[in-house]
Amino acid sequence: MTPDPMARAMHRHHRRYAAMLPGEPKATPGTRRRALGAIGRAAMVLAIAALSACAALGLRQPIGVRLVDIEPLPSEGMELRVAVKLRLQNPNDAAIDFDGVSLALDLRGASFATGVSGVGGSIPRLGETIVTVPVSVSALAAARQVLVLASDRQPHVDYALHGRLAGVGMGGMAFESKGDIQLPVDLLQ
């Protein structure tokens, strides 16, 4: 009595894959090679998928950020409030949409002001936009800058900006900028 064809096929299938299990003495070089080839193909597919995901996320060149102006705002208590205008430049081929900005402003190497804004917008592809962020200056930071400005009499001061655009990709898009700017005469009086 011969076993039916389905039983023979299942027996062959079981023998072939049982040989690939670790510790099985029936494994042959051919079955190991096939198993390693399958693992190699799977690894290559995963690598291609990861690269495609990076491309889909839109790895971009960093945006350019320049401090345009600092304007006084009505003060609140012991804090000085100012509006910081930033020029955001997009060197990429796709527009960058954002829904908030946070920043820290250093003047002459010392922490000066910090602020956040829920302002949203879009920086057009190969374009620019201006964003205004209200920031707070502590009384101590303002006093320190007044003393430095009074002794220096320099109209221009060095600045460093550190910040982030919210809502851009995963975790936002960080930016940094350095330069010099002329402070308004009435800002620190």
Mean pLDDT within 35-53: 65
pLDDT at 77: 77
Percent share of the chain, pLDDT over 90: 21
Mean pLDDT within 3-17: 59
pLDDT tens-digit profile of 123-173? 999 999 999 999 988 777 777 776 666 666 666 788 899 999 988 766 788
Mean pLDDT within 27-36: 60
pLDDT at 56: 47
Mean pLDDT within 10-19: 54
pLDDT tens-digit profile of 98-115? 999 999 988 888 888 899
Higher pLDDT, 177 or 186: 177
* pLDDT above 60 (res 188): no
Percent share of the chain, pLDDT over 70: 58
pLDDT at 143: 73
CATH code of the domain occupying 64-182: 2.60.40.1820
**Beta-carbon count within 10 A of 130 CB:** 12
Bridge partners of 178, per DSSP, are 160
Question: Using DSSP, how many helices (H) and how many strands (E) does the chain show?
Answer: 3, 9
* pLDDT above 60 (res 20): no
**Beta-carbon count within 10 A of 114 CB:** 17
Lookup: tokens for 56? 């889909």
Lookup: tokens for 128? 């620019």
pLDDT at 46: 72
Predicted TM-score of the model (pTM):
0.62
Higher pLDDT, 18 or 156: 156
Break the chain into its structural domains and give their ranges. 5-57, 64-182
Do the beta carbons of residue 113 and residue 84 sit within 8 Å? yes
